[in-house]
Structure 1
Amino acid sequence: MQILSISADHYASNHHYLNQMHQLRAAVFGDRLEWEITVTEQGERDQYDDLRPTYILAIFTDQKVVGCARLLPASGPTMLERTFPQLLERGSLDAHVAVVESSRFCVDTSLPAGRGGTLHQATLTMLAGIIEWSMSNGYTEIVTATDLRFERILRRAGWPMRRLGDPVAIGNTIAVAGSLPADRASFDQVCPPGYHSIIEHGDAGLFRSAA
């Protein structure tokens, strides 16, 4: 399983992966979780996809996208502050430049390979990829709007979320906002065996890619 980060400058050369990502989001958030989202033949997308985010994707050996997340600097427009301010204790983030927002995290857990542990390998691979990318781009904190189910998953992964407000019923789920550290200890905690680094090493040497 490979982790891929796709910045706005590389959308065109990775359009086949991004198309799969939007279809995966539609399948997970629309079909499985039955969230109130907009789904078209092209899959699920919203206004935050127009802000040139970076996407983190988990790619299986057959070039299938099995996990995804969207990352945007929290100093700019975010889903948490603009769409779900009711999840924030003060109604706003007051984010500093070292905070990034993760949204639209999902994993195809029907994939047989990767089962057997406490959490699916694709889930742990995605968490490690998000932390690694955040650290390598100068972020120390990750904020997100999620639900109580995923909050439990993060706790099981050993990467517990610090709540930024009380849980709120939104649609058919109980949503909650939280903050997570982006540091080496967190990366080491969630990183699954065989993880392949997405970072070009150069002289920095922050991470070691597993063989």
Structure 2
Amino acid sequence: MRLIAVTPDLHEQHSGLLREMHCLRAKVFGSRLGWEVTTTGDGERDEYDDLRPTYILATKSGAVCGCARLLPAVGPTMLQETFPQLLEAGRLAAHLGMIESSRFCVDTSLGEGREGGHLHLATLSMFAGIIEWSMANGYSEIVTATDLRSERILKRAGWPMLRLGEPVAIGNTMAVAGSLRADASSFERVRPAGYRSSFSGNGTTPARSAA
């Protein structure tokens, strides 16, 4: 399994992988979870995909099996614009070292990849990839809106989330907002054996720096 960061300047180059990502999102969020999302023949997408995000993709044999979308928290974010009710004060205390992760999903129908019989390899690889890319680009804090099941998975992985508000029922989901550390110790705890990324120590120029 390999992790790829598709920064805005690489969207066109990796358009095929991004099409697969949107189809995976439709499969997970629309079909499996039954969320109220917009899906078409091209997959699931929303207005935040128009803001030139960075996508972290997990690939296996060239196919996308996991994804997440990253946007700087100082700009428009799903958490602030769509789900402010999840925030204790109704607003996100954004800073330059904060990035939002949204639309995180993995294809858990894969017949292999359970790490220690517990968490899926793609899930742990995605956690590690998000942390690694965030650190490399000057971010120390990751915020997200997720559900209670995913909150438990993060805790089991050794990457506990600090809640930013109380859980709220949104559609058929109990949603919760939280903050996650992007640091070396978190990366080492979640990184599975054999983890590989296209941005590991390769001197890639940061898409932006919060420093």
TM-score range, shorter chain: over 0.9
Q: Report the RMSD for the aligned CA atoms in angstroms.
A: 1.2
Contact map agreement 1:132 1:187 (CA 8 A) in 2: yes
Give yes or no for the alignment of 1:114 onto 2:113: yes
Local SS of the residue matching 1:135 = helix
Deviations 1:107-154 (CA, angstroms, capped at 9, x unpaired):
000111202521000000000000000000000000000000100100
Contact map agreement 2:4 2:199 (CA 8 A) in 1: no
Corresponding residue of 1:25: 25
Contact map agreement 1:145 1:177 (CA 8 A) in 2: yes
Give the Cα–Cα distance (whole angstroms) in 2 for the partners of residues 56 and 153 of structure 1.
19
TM-score (norm 2): 0.94
Q: Matched residues, percent identical?
A: 66
Contact map agreement 1:66 1:107 (CA 8 A) in 2: yes
Give the Cα–Cα distance (whole angstroms) in 2 for the partners of residues 91 and 99 of structure 1.
17
Corresponding residue of 1:51: 51
What is the count of residue pairs matched by the alignment?
203
Q: Runs of 4+ in structure 1 displaced over 6 angstroms? A: none
Corresponding residue of 2:207: none
Corresponding residue of 1:125: 125
The runs of 5 or more residues in structure 2 that have no matched partner are: 205-211
Local SS of the residue matching 2:146 = strand
Give the Cα–Cα distance (whole angstroms) in 1 for the partners of residues 122 and 13 of structure 2.
24
Q: Supply the AA of the counterpart residue of 2:103.
A: R
Q: Supply the AA of the counterpart residue of 1:81.
A: Q
Give the Cα–Cα distance (whole angstroms) in 1 for the partners of residues 40 and 198 of structure 2.
31
Q: Supply the AA of the counterpart residue of 2:70.
A: L
Q: Supply the AA of the counterpart residue of 2:69.
A: R
Give the Cα–Cα distance (whole angstroms) in 2 for the partners of residues 129 and 200 of structure 1.
9
Shift of 1:35: 0.2
Corresponding residue of 1:36: 36
Is the alpha carbon distance of 1:154 and 1:200 closer, same or farther for their aligned partners in structure 2, counting shifts above 3 Å? closer
Shift of 1:202: 5.3
Local SS of the residue matching 2:85 = helix
1:154-169 → structure 2 map (5 Å cutoff): 154-169=154-169
Give the Cα–Cα distance (whole angstroms) in 1 for the partners of residues 176 and 159 of structure 2.
16
Give yes or no for the alignment of 1:14 onto 2:14: yes
Is the alpha carbon distance of 1:203 and 1:40 closer, same or farther for their aligned partners in structure 2, counting shifts above 3 Å? closer
Give the Cα–Cα distance (whole angstroms) in 2 for the partners of residues 74 and 58 of structure 1.
23
The runs of 5 or more residues in structure 1 that have no matched partner are: 205-211
Contact map agreement 1:80 1:145 (CA 8 A) in 2: yes
TM-score (norm 1): 0.94
Give the Cα–Cα distance (whole angstroms) in 2 for the partners of residues 155 and 94 of structure 1.
23
